[in-house]
Amino acid sequence: MVGSLAGLAGCGADEPRGPEGCPAEDEIRGVCAGVPRAAICDEETCTAGVACAVVARARSDAELQAAAAAAAPGTCIALAPGAYGAVALPGGVSVLGRSAGDVTVHEVVLDPGEGAVVRGLTTSMIRVGGAARAKIESVRVRGSADSGVIVDARSSVDVTTSTIEGAALYGLFAVDPFAVSLDRVVIAGSGGPGLWVASSADCAEPPAQPALDVKSSIVRGSHIVGVALFGARAAIAGLDILGTSPGKEFQTGRYGGGLSIASCSDADVKGLRVHDSKSYGVLVDGSKATIGGNGPDEDVEIHRNVIGLSVQNVPESFRLENAQLDENQGFGIGLSGESRGVIICRSSVMATGIKALPTVHAGVEDVGHGLSWTERSEATISDVSVGGSALASVLIDGEASGTLHHVTLSDGDEALGIVQQDFRTGAQPTIESGTPALRQAEDALYPVPAALDVLPRDVAR
């Protein structure tokens, strides 16, 4: 075996219809993600579109191994339909099949070098072992006993129109890469996290942060977490994270979240859907993030998760815009850890249900709050509607600073009101246009949910 292992603006637009012939589960906002069904070309081997200095053709595993051993940078090894063994490619050497249905290579390792391409085949694992500007295109990575795609330190790779499915551990795992890019990629059924991009430093400075770019991609059926960022710089434009569950060794209920942004990450996320996570939908801890926007397809859906969005320990900047948080449990939005620079605008939090959660003062209790604002956090909340909350609508615990501007309560939340509990003196948010009056209480009327645990770095290994 080779290898191992802040001004306010308008909101978004309606979704376009899906492309004809695309499986429904692979369609995201009118774009078809995942490996194409059609062959790349009509010939036996396909090299068009790749800059090949030399083309070596192989029709057997022996010919593939011989071609790889003799290849110089810029060589393309064109594979005829068939099954091949594992191969380690010298730096800058490409391997090209006709389609994922025609060509199978057991495993592929890309050694250090520039510009290697893996295209048009099925494999169990790809390791980007120090390669720069590598490309994985129209590839199905299926059934790895380890992780589907492993990106080593100081590597960079673009993954496009590909599917990574059924990996035992991570779908795509990258620690200290230079850059990882996903465009129209599906990561499905990972035994551990779907997508994991991390710096090995506790709080990497921006020049050292791994860069992640995601467009029109889907991560579904993962375990422990759908997408996790540690000390990474991310630009996301179109991402669905669906149906994340706890891992087999993690039965506390605190894992199984959709998107985790932690450890000094800096994320710009547009066009996000996080649905049906068994834990949080989105967790932002000790990081900067902008989630949502006012352009077409920049809206956000965080639906039917256990906890919608938790913002905690944010030192300076978090913005949520044009978001709908529906039918989450426990709390729709939580602010904690003395977070600063929080802006929530043009969004709604509806139908938050009851869930037994760890609380600050009394162990596990039933919680069902639309908005939970705690631990002296500071926020500007504007043009936000909250309704159908099971327990508290807008709950402020203790002191808090900021502004509530045009906050609307509906669907029974009018009677619950905006409550600042456990409060005697100190900071209070300013109440502005169209917002119900603040009700003060010296006692604790409602349970206060505890901050969430951040994933450990070795969660699936």
Report pLDDT digits (tens) over 256-281. 999 999 999 999 999 999 999 999 99
pLDDT in tens, 85-122: 999 999 999 999 999 999 999 999 999 999 999 999 99
Q: Which residue has the tokens 């085949």?
A: 121
Percent pLDDT > 70 in the chain is 94
CB-based contact 169:149 (threshold 8 Å): no
Both tokens assigned to 68: 């790889």
> Where does the pLDDT of residue 456 fall: very low under 50, low under 70, confident under 90, or very high at 90 and above?
confident
Give alpha helix (H) positions in 117-209.
none
> Where does the pLDDT of residue 19 fall: very low under 50, low under 70, confident under 90, or very high at 90 and above?
confident
CB-based contact 146:169 (threshold 8 Å): yes
CA atoms within a 13 Å half-sphere pointing along the CA-CB vector of 437: 2
Both tokens assigned to 443: 């006692």
CB-based contact 416:189 (threshold 8 Å): no
Domain ranges, ordered by start, for the chain: 31-440
- Closest to 226 (Cα-Cα) out of 460, 2, 461, 53: 460
Rounded average pLDDT over 395-423: 98
Percent pLDDT > 90 in the chain is 90
**Sign of torsion, CA 157 271 210 194?**
negative
Helix (H, G, I), strand (E, B) or coil at 226: strand
pLDDT in tens, 165-185: 999 999 999 999 999 999 999
> Where does the pLDDT of residue 137 fall: very low under 50, low under 70, confident under 90, or very high at 90 and above?
very high
- Report the mean per-residue pLDDT for the chain: 94
CB-based contact 62:30 (threshold 8 Å): no
Q: What integer pLDDT is reported at residue 17 of this predicted model?
A: 36
pLDDT in tens, 298-310: 999 999 999 999 9
Q: What integer pLDDT is reported at residue 362 of this predicted model?
A: 80
